[in-house]
Structure formats: C-alpha cells, structure tokens
Amino acid sequence: MELKRVVVTGLGAVTPLGNNVPDTWANIIKGVSAAQPITHFDASKFKTQFACEVKNFDPSQYFDRKEARKLDIYTQYAMVAAKEAISDCGIDLETADKDEIGVIMAAGIGGILTFEQEVGYYYANQDKGPKFNPFFIPKMIADMAAGQISIMYGFRGPNYSTTSACASSNNALIDAYNCIRLGQASMMLAGGSEAAITPAGVGGFNAMTALSTRNDDMEHASRPFSKSRDGFVIGEGGGCLVLEELEHALARGAKIYCELAGGGLSADAYHMTASHPEGLGAILAMRRALKDAKMQPEDIDYINVHGTSTPVGDISEVKAIETVFGEHAYKLNISSTKSMTGHLLGAAGAIEAIFSVLAIADNIVPPTINHAEGDEDPEIDYRLNFTFNQAQKREVNAALSNTFGFGGHNASAIFKKFVK
C-alpha cells in the first residue's frame, strides 16, 4: 500500500503571546516573555505567583453567553484556534465532504477549572445534599474539545483526544498524520489545548517542585539551558493545524505551508516524572521520526526542543540530540520557545509545531531567551547553537519538534519544505 503525503494548509492559535497566529509569531520572533503575575486567582500564598496566561481573551467575542457556560476554557481555546485554522486553510465548507474531515485535539489535563469549581462547591455545601451542574462532566472531560469542534463544523471523520501529558498534542498530530496517509481521512484538524493555571494546577506542580519560583524576576524565570534554571513556567492556550492529503490540497488550490514528513513515538520506561538521564526515550523518538520521514540527521536544520527549563530535563535532551545527530548537532539551530510562552502542557506540541512550520515558511529560527553570559551549565556543550536571545535568519528546509511528557511519553514530529 502506498502511503499518502500529508501537508499543512492551516494554522490557528490562542497563546500567552497573542490570540491568533500572526500576533503570537511576531512576539516569538521579537523574543517577548509572556510571564506575568497570575490574575486567574489569588496566588499570593503560593510558592509560584506568576504564569504565562492568555491575555484579553473575551469568550463573548466567540460564543454566546449560553454556549460559553457549557464550555470549559480549555475547550474555548481549542475552538477558537480551530476557527482560525479553518479560515486560514481556505476550504469551502459548503462544498467540502465533511465525512472525510476529522478532528484530534489533545489535552494533558482537560477541564481542571470546571472540576475544581464543581467539587469545591459540593464540599462547601454538603449540608444541602449533592448538587452538581448538569454540564459538569461534559465540560470537564479531556475529549470534549475535539467533540465540540466536530459539532461546530459537522465534521464526521475520525474524532478523539490524545492524552500523554506534555506530549499529548504531538501525539495528536502524529495520529492525524497517520489517519490521512492511511486513507482514513482527506483532512484533519489536529492540535491541543490546556487551561491549568488554577489553584490545583499551580499548587500541584509547586508541590512536586516542578515550577520556577523566581517571583522577583518572573519575565526571566524560564531560562532553558542556563545553569540557574529552576523549573518551568506554566502556560495555557490552544493550537490547531490543518493537515491535508496532498492531492486533496492541490485539487482545491490550497496554500501549502510545508509537509509533515514523519513522526516518532517512544517511552522512557524509567520514572513517573523524570526523563531518562541519558535521554534514551528521546533518542528513540527522534530516530523513529527520521526513519519514518526517510531522512538523515543531516537533513534537519532546526530543532524546536522540549526545553522546559528544568534542571534534569534540559540536560537529558541535549544528550539525546548529541547522540542522534553526532557532528551535525553543531550545525543545527536549537531553540526552546517555552522560554517565551511558558509550558502549555498538553497544548505545547501544537504551538511548537506551528512555530516549526513558520520557521520553515519564513526561514527564521526563533530564539531561546533569558540566557546571560556567565550562566553556563558545565554539563551542557555550548558549541551547540541554542539561538540564545535573538532570532536567527537561516534556510530552514526541515525542522524537528520534540515533546516529552510525565510518564515517560516521547513524541517527535518532522516538518519539511514542500516540494511537489
């Protein structure tokens, strides 16, 4: 069976740096930090009092009041990102075969805010007996973003959510890619969303010492690959890519950003939360992605790394890159855009895939911000080009995007310039 080729024809995003793709990308290239004091709740007693929140997001601009009350904010982010991606891809929904269009939208956690609010109300009012909102379960569950997008447009193709912690939306992209190339759909909306800047989200990550506590210097708190890094900065938002079978895209005259060339998955099989110290799972995921894409390490120009700014994780990813790419590792550009957006958890892979696509389209590599001279980690080889502090113009023919999640889940996706 000959596998079909898959191209990217639409992009949509809601992020801490912009509520659409152009605004987000402009701020990424400028090297803007989205970290600010938490406004979603009173964080004054928390170890971490800042985050990368989505800003100026008004649900009433996208949903009527009755509809918005049925949707957790993570679902709203996903639906708004999907709407932008559909508009960007230029498909005529009046004539499209909606049986051939599917949706896979990931969430690492899902509707945690809805869960907190409903369960909190129950325990505060136990004397009145059990009383829950009838929309509690459908608002909360992690598959609902995918379901609501399909309902919004009438898409009847494959429809589900992937959940693999911070690898979730890269898993969604790879699954959607496989659906298309196996002939199960002509077009897929794929990505992820997350909205976990809540008391439980921040408090839980604080309890496991995963978050930066640099409250006095929050804009510079996320500093991947620097010696003084002390944890990730939590972010939120949603990202959606339109993936399309090549001949279907050509037949309708679609704008093609690039080709999704391959994906690789693996498990660390090591620890609940820590990555393998030698990056063994990451090595497997990247090698499998290269094999799937029928590409060599030398074909890759840019890696959008997982790069969360955690002490152990950054080192293990560097080791994995050095193992997979050998001498070519020193010719690559590497950057962690989490230094600007924060860590969007289950939405990270989608947002970072968009950045990888645009790096190819615009021939520019976004920076890793917040690195200062003298803050070098002796365990990291700085002959590698981490694209510190300033975007770099270069020909980007192929980009690899890494995401690694709690539980040892690893997913790598490769995008390349489209050549007919």
Structure tokens given for 5: 């080729």
pLDDT for residue 77? 98
- Residue 351: pLDDT band with limits 50, 70, 90: very high
User: With the CA atoms of 211, 217, 220 and 226 taken in that order, what torsion angle do they form, in degrees rounded to the nearest 10?
Assistant: -70
What CATH number has the domain spanning 7-416?
3.40.47.10
d(CA 295, CA 231): 34
Backbone φ and ψ for 15, nearest 5 degrees, come out as -140, 170
pLDDT in tens, 180-234: 999 999 999 999 999 999 999 999 999 999 999 999 999 999 999 999 999 999 9
pLDDT at 128 over 90: no
- Residue 129: pLDDT band with limits 50, 70, 90: confident
Sign of torsion, CA 213 215 220 222? positive
pLDDT for residue 2? 87
Structure tokens given for 243: 């993936």
Length of the chain: 420
Q: 0.85 cut: is pTM over it?
A: yes
Question: What average pLDDT score do residues 145-158 get?
Answer: 98
pLDDT for residue 1? 75
pLDDT in tens, 21-73: 999 999 999 999 999 999 999 999 999 999 999 999 999 999 999 999 999 99
What value does the mean pLDDT of the chain take? 97
Q: CB 1: neighbour CB atoms within 10 A? A: 6
- Cβ proximity of 208 and 138 under 8 Å: no
pLDDT at 258 over 90: yes
What is the domain partition of the chain in residue ranges? 7-416
Q: What percent of the chain has pLDDT over 90?
A: 97
d(CA 191, CA 371): 29
Q: Which residues are catalytic?
A: 166, 306, 343
The closest of 164, 147, 165 to 156, measured between CA atoms, is 147
